[in-house]
Amino acid sequence: MKNKLQQEMEKIQAELWTMSDHLYDHPELGDQEYESMKLLTNFLKEHNFNIETGIVSRPTAFKAEYKSGKPGPTIAYLAEYDALPGVGHGCGHNLIGTMSVGAGVALSKVIEEIGGSVIVFGTPAEETNGAKVPMSEQGIFKDIDVAMIVHPGDQSYESGESLAMDAIQYSYSGKTAHAAAAPEEGINALDSVIQLFNGINALRQHVTSDVRIHGIIAEGGQAANVVPDKAVAQFYIRAKDRTYLNGVVKKVNNIAEGAAIMTGATLEISNYELSYDNMITNKALSNAFTMNLSEVSTEPVYPAKQSIGSIDMGNVSQVVPAIHPYISLKQPGLIAHTTEFANKTITEDGHEALVSGTLALAQTGYEVITDSELLKNIQEEFANKEK
């Protein structure tokens, strides 16, 4: 049956290359990926998938489903297709979206025989306000047996971990005054932000080494001779797991409150982007994918890298067995979020990665459906996971 998957892949690979290159040529930012969504869903529709767009109240999100009509596991492939401002597809989401769509179509050609269902989820805005977060919260993955996505990288790596992350805004309100003539009449909101930064810097000694706290002053006043009555700081706060992160965020919030008390300003705390949970790789599923990737690609697959980034696939991994491996673009040291990375996706190496990743995803989905022992191991591991 894997030979049939290979044959089905060969039938569609030229179209997949064209789609990926088109996404590269026409990048769209998160939650604005209307043409990208249309391109991917039209391809799925041509292959008899039932399409639902605008799920979880996100206009560019979609669910594409193909049912065999026979009992069996449900395999989900997750497609990303948002680009970066000024860089385009510097994270290779043109490849990611196309690989997931291609894997879904390839697998759909054999499930009439083996049973089960295949779903492709379109998941907008991974770079900013990831749609996988509300999808995870609203039960979209409730009846899914496994969820998979493959990310391009400098080399191939097994699925690993990611940091949990909160994006928090601290907005201080004070009182304007002439900074020279009557400073005593003012309440300096910018001083609160400065004290917040100082307090966070003092905190760094007393958190574990995996914690990352990095921020900016988004607003800090309009003129040097006016006491600022509004100042805003935005921070990403990250840690290895959600439980520890919650404790760090509490400490930072306490520092923020103390900064307001010191200056007399008032404070409003809010989230300016959705929170991402840490990625929990399902090792049984990951091992199956790694074996399949090794069969279809000559590139070595290295152990998972230590991650200091955050992905909304982490939220998915909390509710369903999931993996997020990397596939090689054959350029060790290649840095993501650069135009160089984006340009690499449309080369021969990028096209080769697309084919290998698509086929490995499809073959892994096939194994989950047909190998009851593999599925049992996946489910048992997930049931015993630590958050």
pLDDT digits (tens, 9 = 90+) for 213-251: 999 999 999 999 999 999 999 999 999 999 999 999 999
Q: Which DSSP letter does residue 56 get? A: G
Which residue intervals of the chain are DSSP H helices?
2-25, 34-46, 93-108, 111-114, 132-137, 189-203, 242-263, 283-296, 313-317, 339-344, 348-370, 372-383
pLDDT for 309 equals 86
Order across the sheet with 266-271: list the strands. Answer: 212-219, 230-239, 164-173, 266-271
The structure tokens listed for 281 are: 């790789």
Same topology between domain 2-162+278-383 and domain 164-271: no
**If we measure between CA atoms, which residue out of 361, 378, 370 comes closest to residue 293?**
361
In the chain, what percentage of residues exceed pLDDT 90? 96
C-alpha dihedral (243, 247, 250, 251), degrees to nearest 10: -160
The structure's pTM equals 0.92
Looking at domain 2-162+278-383, its CATH superfamily turns out to be: Zn peptidases (3.40.630.10)
The structural domains of the chain, with segments of one domain joined by +, span 2-162+278-383, 164-271
Match domain 164-271 to its CATH number in 3.30.70.360, 3.40.1670.10, 3.40.50.720, 3.40.50.300. 3.30.70.360
pLDDT digits (tens, 9 = 90+) for 43-77: 999 999 999 999 999 999 999 999 998 999 999 99
**Burial (Cβ within 10 Å: 0-12, 13-18, ≥19) of residue 146:** buried
pLDDT, averaged across the chain: 96
User: ∠ at Cα 10 (356, 111), nearest 5°?
Assistant: 85
pLDDT for 341 equals 98
Q: Is the dihedral of CA 121, 45, 362, 304 positive or negative?
A: negative
